[in-house]
Amino acid sequence: MKILANDGISQSGISALEKDGFEVLTTTVAQEQLMKFINENEIIGLLVRSATQVRTDIIDNCPNLKLIGRGGVGMDNIDVQYAKKKGLHVINTPAASSESVAELVFAHLFGGVRFLHDANRNMPLDGDSKFKELKKSYAGGSELRGKTLGLIGFGRIGQATAKIALGVGMKVIYFDPFIEKISLSVSFYDGSSVSFDFESQPKNDVLKNSDFVSVHVPAQKGYVIGQAEFEIMKKNTGIVNAARGGVIDEVALVAALENGKISFAGLDVFESEPSPEIKILMHPNISLTPHIGAATNEAQDRIGLELAAQISELLK
């Protein structure tokens, strides 16, 4: 029984699958060659991340295929309902990368309020000749403690982000049409924990009352944050998107940065990914990462083990 992990899988996941009698192939097959490879090698399970597309052509023309797995949360690169209609198992790992993405959100937030993204661009160029000028330029930072973080979407990743915010000393408010109320338990290294009760607020209230906004929603047909939403926000709000490209209107974002409505943005995902717009890449007030929210060793181990457990349960 062969499994193709076309976008890679952790060694822990490979070992778990091999222990259960599966053969794991980690060859990266080009999209246009994928159908042929699956059929020639009698692949029964195809594992992908965000790079490989699993559309109706593969589903219709790979009769040996029994399972499609996504190492991560969003499955917008898979025709999920069509695959299920054709009798295939479709799985993902919704819980495995929550903490990793949440920590990246805070990497952008901490970097944004202290201008690290821009300082790290300019210090190698001018640090030896304009040290005092740069020091003055970056001296007006702010703290996260005591500020309000607004979360648009309060699923697993939103909740993990909220827990870090609470630990930092921030107030957390959120909007989520599917989660009206929830109690979160924040655990500490010594085994103790503290519980916090939350209730969803209207989206516009969250935008209006937040010092920082982080977006945690799946891919949408339209923008979740656009010009109208930016206008509602406080002046000098910071915003982070580590969810999906296209949920924030990047043209409106650049305009909001230029007119001072938004102080900085942290982007891990992009509308035109994998070729982000030059205006985004070159903007001094945008902190940039190349879609690495789940790309920690710990998260990849959890993803691999979670995929392996589901595959063994479904296919053995």
Catalytic residue numbers, as ranges: 244, 273, 291
Nearest to 10 by CA among 271, 313, 232, 306: 306
The amino acid present at 205, given as its one-letter code, is: D
The amino acid present at 84, given as its one-letter code, is: K
| C-alpha–C-alpha distance, residues 11 and 18, integer Å | 10
| C-alpha–C-alpha distance, residues 213 and 209, integer Å | 10
Asked if 254 and 280 count as a contact pair (C-beta separation under 8 A), the reply is: yes
Continuous H helices in the chain: 11-19, 34-40, 56-61, 80-85, 98-113, 116-126, 131-137, 156-168, 203-209, 227-232, 250-258, 278-281, 297-315
Nearest to 94 by CA among 216, 189, 7: 216
Q: What is the DSSP string of 238-268?
A: EEEE-S-TTSB-HHHHHHHHHTTSEEEEEES
